[in-house]
Amino acid sequence: MSNTATVHEAEVHGVHDAHHEHHHHETFISKYVFSQDHKMIARQFLITGMIWAIIGGLFSVLFRLQLGYPNTTFPWLEDLLGHWAKGGKLQPEFYYALVTMHGTILVFFVLTAGLSGTFANFLIPLQIGARDMASPMLNMLSYWFFFLASIIMFSSLFVQTGPASGGWTIYPPLSALGDASSGSKIGMDLWLASMAMFVVSSLLGGLNYITTILNMRTKGMSMTRMPLTIWALFFTAVLGVLSFPVLLSGAILLLFDRNLGTSFFLSDIVVNGKILPNEGGSAILFQHLFWFLGHPEVYIILLPAMGMSSEIISVNSRKPIFGYMAMVGSLFAIAILAFLVWAHHMFVTGLNPFLGAFFVLLTLLIAVPSAIKVFNWLTTLWRANIRFTPAMLFAIGFVSLFISGGLTGIFLGNSALDIHLHDTYFVVAHFHIVMGVASFMGMFAGVYHWFPKMYGRFLNNTLGYIHFWVTIIGAYLIFWPMHYEGLAGMPRRYYDFSAWESFKMFGGLNEFISFVSMIVFAAQLLFVFNFFYSIFKGRKVKDTNPWGANTLEWTTPIRPGHGNWVGEIPEVHRGAYDYGKDGREFIPQTEPVGENESHH
Amino acid sequence: MTKILLIAIVIMIFIVIFQISKASEYVSILKGEEKARKQNNRINAFLLVVFLVLGLIGCWWCNNLYYGKTLFVQGAASEMGEKIDLMLYITIAVTGVVFFVTQVLLFWFSFKYQEKDDRKAYYFPHNTKLELLWTTVPAIFLTVLVVFGLKYWFKMTGEAPQNSIVIEVTGHQFGWEFRYPGPDKILGKKDYRLTKGANSLGVDFNDPASLDDMHVPATVHIPVGRPVKFVINAQDVIHDVGLSHFRMKMDAVPGIPTTLWFTPLYTTEEMKARTGNPNFVYEISCDQMCGKGHFSMRGVIVVDTQEEYLKYLATLEPEYWTIFPDKKPGAPKPAITDTTKSKASLAAIMPAGN
């Protein structure tokens, strides 16, 4: 165990202040609101993300009600949603608004800001041995821009014509023309404004993460000694910094088309009997701009989950992660390829087939680094000595879902098959499993694993186990059968299938899926309750290194103050994964290499 | 009342679960935390392997329930579609094996290598040979799939055969319109600025080729066994011509015409027999989110025999005649007042300068 004894926060501050020149008084505002401590900012991101996750999840339950019970009216729905659900039945335009907001919220606000924002902020300084981010000020701004984006997006839920309802991909002309959809009126402007703030937030955050990782590693922490979490968060930040500005440009051009009469994405349009003067624009151009962000975005969501799962699997297997360099290399390969495959979302737009062929090739190439990662995780488990903490279960769940959802990507990346499966429930199943639930699994793994570091207490284990089992069983029950709906050609984003001879036979299955989704949602509320209860009443952490892990965050006091370490920042002498080496259960990174230590 | 009862029950369940969880924490302290932890470890390791077994049985069961509802059973209704189905089968087989092996290993390893007092984790940080193995093997399999896929991709997206029947498809919120080129086999020009009143497609009737074109809404007839090429437009937002039975799909984009082609193998009547469903119909689903009526944007393709098709075509009138009934041969010569009226209506839909 680590040699640091239990140190209380007050003591930390005393020592910390004596050691450092930037002496500051902490008021309630500076400690909890406009905090510049990366750990507090991480918690702010996490809790904001959780609030969004509840809203986004609730939306999915509401529109699943319509899909599962298309012929039933729910009077209480009108009480809850007002004119969105006139007569107790969700109206089509608000069904689409809920679908759109569900996607937007989960992709951007929860799995980008909530996931990267939380763990990049929390883990980067702690795991590389830095007292804080390179620029704590920008870091704070990153959160507050996110908060601003959240406020704008949330307010769009309350405008008369409803929030954006053209899908989270906001393809023009639908999103450009208020005449085409009520959600494309003021709701869409708010969506774009919110997203502009969001991009600013993610750029401020991303630049900070990259700078911190490159410049502020402690003595001895060479790049190749960094934990895989840090590598994953590093590549995530690079992806975000390079791709989010492209979304911003697309959003600005769309705002121009909407409000200033330009024709970037509009041409030859007659809508509602009105002949529009716009000519020469290309609706497909927007899709290129959108997916140039949109595809890297998928990996922005997935990579942190991969990194954290790698770390947690290694720690709890009591074994080094198998093939550390291959794991870093495959992360790098995925990050590069993420930029070169965006048009595989556009195989049926009339894309030049020759160009399409390159996107097929590069897309399926991603399966190679993905396969390396899966086999390396499996080999890490082989002949291990596994402890099933809730975090470990979620990490295993992540691998299982990553396999299931990754394999269906091979279908969709192959353009000839994609023509048939494009925009069917097969796609819904694929991305919810591989990007949605898998990333949530990674995020939960991270929360259960690092909660003791965040709050000095443990989450309740039993609730954690219940949470895991309901979530993984529910996720498979919800999404696995959707593959069959997709293979029947059933299109996504349909409000009602009963008029379709080809798709109406899945009524019973849709009802089942909706029912399971409610139970899974309830299980998430159990987690939320566990989270807030444990912050105040959870079992206290008594040991600085409760998981017996090698990484630096466990050399800090149980509740580290601003500045993280009491006294000097420790020096690093080895990689992060010396578990089970030379018969020792674990060897912290801070321990110098012994004279008789074996080399591998 | 039932509402309140239901909410009360849900809250009760929550409280019970929470109290049990809280109690289990105290019990573990009483029992000794290490002992409780080890017990949890054994339980969860066991559950993981149960999950694997039940999950695999569930996959098999799900397949039994729903395979019959996929399109595999009735087979593809187009020539390329059959190749796509074959490719789907191959891909399912390859990925299915990988799925089975990796999931079994994942959960079996988890169970087998659960923490035991007498076991030490085996220090095994890397092995270049193994890593090269699972870099190259997937790469080889993927190459095969890519080669297959691209061969079909180029065939499907390539030029339609010379003898194709050309039909124009136009999507709008929320329906489909079709235009046959008529005896001259050329579709007349269109200009979206002409979209007014009865001329709902914006056809330019100054183009002689447009005079024999025939416009039908919602349902299109095509003959069996001949390639059909759709020229696809959209008037307002992006739509998508989804032809799941033919395994084809193409977006309809305002301002950018697209095309797709396929060769239907079975008439609608034959498909009724093949599927055993007397209501069977080839449906066109809009597969690109297009607004609040997206889910109701339904079109129908009727695949006829060659004779039925020709008989059907004979019943259609050129759109020119339906918009300008006085131009129909044999139509009563309009009186002078009528001529001015029809000129006025003509002026409304003709481009300026005519």
Predicted local distance difference test score (pLDDT) of residue B340? 47
Q: Where are the alpha helices (DSSP H) in A318-437?
A: 324-338, 353-365, 367-381, 390-413, 415-421, 425-431
Exposure on the CB side of residue A568, measured as CA atoms within 13 A = 6
CB within 8 Å: B294 and A495: yes
Q: Looking at residue B253, what DSSP letter applies? A: B
Sort strands B258-262 and B228-234 into parallel, antiparallel or unpaired. Answer: antiparallel
Pairing of strands A274-275, A270-271: antiparallel
Q: Which residues of A touch B72 (CB under 8 A)?
A: 487
Question: Are A382 and B25 in contact (CB < 8 Å)?
Answer: no
Q: Which residues contact A523 (CB under 8 A, 6 or more apart)?
A: A466, A467, A470, A471, A474
Rounded mean pLDDT of A50-61?
Answer: 96
Q: Mind telling me how many Å the CA of B267 is from chain A's nearest CA?
A: 16
Give percent of chain A with pLDDT exceeding 90.
89
Cβ proximity of B250 and B260 under 8 Å: yes
The pLDDT of residue A600 is 59
Q: How far apart are CA A230 and CA B233, in angstroms?
A: 49
- Check if A593 contacts B (Cβ < 8 Å): no
Rounded average pLDDT over B71-88: 94
To the nearest whole angstrom, how far is the Cα of A361 from the nearest Cα of chain B? 7
**Quick check: helix, strand or coil at residue B289?**
coil
Predicted local distance difference test score (pLDDT) of residue B333 = 61
CB contact under 8 A, A174 and B70: no
| Alpha-carbon separation of residue A473 from A480, A520, B40, B162 (angstroms) | 10, 9, 19, 53
Q: What sign for the dihedral angle of Cα B173, A508, A467, B119?
A: negative
Average pLDDT, chain B: 91
CA distances from A149 to A142, A143, B316 (A): 11, 10, 56
pLDDT recorded at residue A597: 84
Residue A364 pLDDT greater than 50, yes or no: yes
Contact B121, A380 (CB under 8 A): no
Q: What was the pLDDT predicted at A25?
A: 67
- pTM confidence score: 0.93
Put simply, the answer to whether B21 touches A460 (Cβ < 8 Å) is: yes
Q: Which candidate in B20, B101, B110 is best for mutational testing of the A interface (most A CBs within 10 A)?
A: B110
**Residue ranges of domains in chain B:** 39-113+129-158, 165-325+339-349
pLDDT value, residue B29: 83
- What are A523's two structure tokens? 């299980």
The number of CA neighbours under 13 Å toward the Cβ of B147 is 6
User: Which of A325-334, B9-18, B335-344 comes out lowest in average pLDDT?
Assistant: B335-344
Least confident of A25-29, A129-133, A504-508, B274-278: A25-29
CB contact under 8 A, B122 and A349: no
CB A415, CB B248: distance < 8 Å: no
Q: pLDDT at position A10, please?
A: 41
Length of chain B: 354
Do A210 and A122 form a contact (C-beta atoms < 8 A)? no
Most B CBs within 10 A among A171, A348, A495, A526, hence the mutation to make, goes to A348
From chain B, the residues in CB contact with A509 under 8 A are 66
From the CB of residue A570, how many other CB atoms can be counted at a distance below 10 Å?
Answer: 21
Please name the residue of chain A whose CA is at the shortest distance from the CA of residue B257: A350
Residues of chain A neighbouring B14 (CB-CB closer than 8 A): 522, 525-526, 529
Q: Is B148 strand, coil or helix? A: helix
Give the residue-averaged pLDDT of A553-562.
93
Q: How confident is the model at residue A599 (pLDDT cuts 50, 70, 90)?
A: confident
Report how far residue A222's alpha carbon sits from residue A128's, in angstroms, rounded to the nearest whole number: 9
Confidence of residue A292 (pLDDT cuts 50, 70, 90): very high
Shortest distance, CA B22 to any CA of chain A (angstroms): 7
Interface with chain A: mutation pick from B4, B142, B177, B281, highest number of A CBs within 10 Å: B142
Enumerate the residues of chain A whose CB falls inside 8 A of the CB of residue B51.
Answer: 469, 472-473
Q: Do A410 and B22 touch (CB under 8 A)?
A: no
Indicate whether B67 pLDDT > 50: yes
Bridge partner residues of B229 (DSSP):
B166, B261
A173-218: per-residue pLDDT in tens?
999 999 999 999 999 999 999 999 999 999 999 999 999 999 999 9
pLDDT of residue A16: 44
- What count of Cα atoms within 13 Å lies in the side-chain half-sphere of residue A106? 25
Contacts of A400 in chain B (CB under 8 A): 103, 106-107
Judge whether residue A303 has pLDDT over 60.
yes
Of A393, A404, A488, the CB nearest to B71: A488
pLDDT > 70? residue B246: yes
- DSSP track, A416-440: HHHHHHTTBHHHHHHHIIIIIIHHH
Q: What is the per-residue pLDDT across A224-239, written as a single tens digit (0 to 9) for each?
A: 999 999 999 999 999 9
Q: Nearest by CB to A580, from B55, B122, B130: name it.
A: B122
Domain B165-325+339-349 class, CATH top level: mainly beta
Give the separation between CA B37 and CA A461, rounded to whole angstroms: 10
Q: Decide if A309 touches B, using CB distance below 8 A.
A: no
Interface of B with A in 189-218 (CB under 8 A): 192-193, 195-196, 202
d(CA A300, CA A519): 28
On whether the CB atoms of residues B98 and B106 are closer than 8 A, the answer is no
CA distance B290 to A263: 19
Closest by Cα among B284, B287, B288 to B298: B284
Check residue B334 and give its pLDDT. 55
Within 8 A by CB and 6+ apart from B110, the residues are A381, A386, A388, A396, B45, B48, B49
As a whole number of angstroms, the longest Cα–Cα distance in chain B is 108
**Looking at the complex, does the CB of residue A481 fall below 8 Å from at least one CB of chain B?**
yes
Under 8 Å CB-to-CB from A79, ≥6 apart: which residues? none
Task: Show the domains of chain A with their CATH numbers.
Answer: 9-16+32-583 (1.20.210.10)
Dihedral angle sign, alpha carbons of residues A103, A106, A445, A229: positive
The enclosing H or E element of B341 equals helix B336-349
Could you tell me where the beta strands, DSSP code E, fall in chain B?
A: 165-172, 175-180, 214-217, 219-223, 228-234, 239-243, 248-252, 258-262, 282-286, 298-304
Interfacial A residues in 342-371 facing B (CB < 8 Å): 348-350, 353, 356-357, 360-361, 364-365, 367-368, 371
